Chains A and B, each alone.
Chain A
């Protein structure tokens, strides 16, 4: 078993169109590093230096990782990680 990662439409150019990919790692940070190794460039769309980008939402199962520990959030086989670009704007 692996970690299931759900990819939003806007990032599917990095996954060859795949809506769901598999990943591995013991923390979210590791998972993203491994994802980037398999799908070059995706890491940069999720991270701003050493932090998650402000307007990208990442969820472990049903929880926003911002409330779980950010990139330090532990992940394990069987978890689902969902990436959704935040919908935001302003005048």
Chain B
């Protein structure tokens, strides 16, 4: 299960809405081993595309180092789908390389409601999990 604060939940949605129709992406860091997402880090989508996202490689190095220095890890890795449902695509699954992370997907295809779902992706296998916003 993913436990996330309302504030962080809303920040993900705001980022996704802001970048729509392109996909938005980012990370929420938390203390190592805590499973608590705490520090919101919106990332640039280097692909700037409505159908693809990719972290900018330089920005990723900087952010990953910073997490390392602060004894944090990527607790949540999020991105948006702007035309399809909030479910991991085949591409999402094949590039998912953080088995410890909660992969959050939001869908901005409907203008008034934003789907918000979370998954574990490990060895190509997707497991949806409950989301508790508190």
Give the B-binding residues of A (Cβ under 8 A).
Answer: 8-10, 55, 57, 59, 62, 64, 66, 82, 84-91
**Contact size range, B:** 20 to 34
* CB < 8 Å neighbour of A87 from B81, B83, B97: B97
Whether B98 pairs with A84 at a CB distance below 8 angstroms is: no
Whether A87 pairs with B61 at a CB distance below 8 angstroms is: no
The interface residues of chain B lying within 8 Å CB-to-CB of A84 are 57, 60-61, 64
Q: B52 within 8 Å of A by Cβ?
A: yes
The interface residues of chain A lying within 8 Å CB-to-CB of B95 are 55, 85-89
The interface residues of chain A lying within 8 Å CB-to-CB of B58 are 62, 64
B59 → chain A, closest Cβ, in Å? 10
Q: B88 within 8 Å of A by Cβ?
A: yes
Mark interface residues in B94-134 (1 if CB within 8 Å of A CB, else 0): 01111110000000000000000000000000000000000
Q: Which residue of A lies closest to B82 (CB)?
A: A91
Cα distance, A64 to B100, chains bound together (Å): 25
Cα distance, A87 to B61, chains bound together (Å): 11
The interface residues of chain B lying within 8 Å CB-to-CB of A89 are 52-53, 79, 88-89, 91-92, 95-96
Given A55-B95, A59-B61, decide whether A87 and B84 contact each other with a Cβ distance below 8 A. no
Given A9-B98, A55-B95, decide whether A88 and B55 contact each other with a Cβ distance below 8 A. yes
Whether B84 pairs with A91 at a CB distance below 8 angstroms is: yes
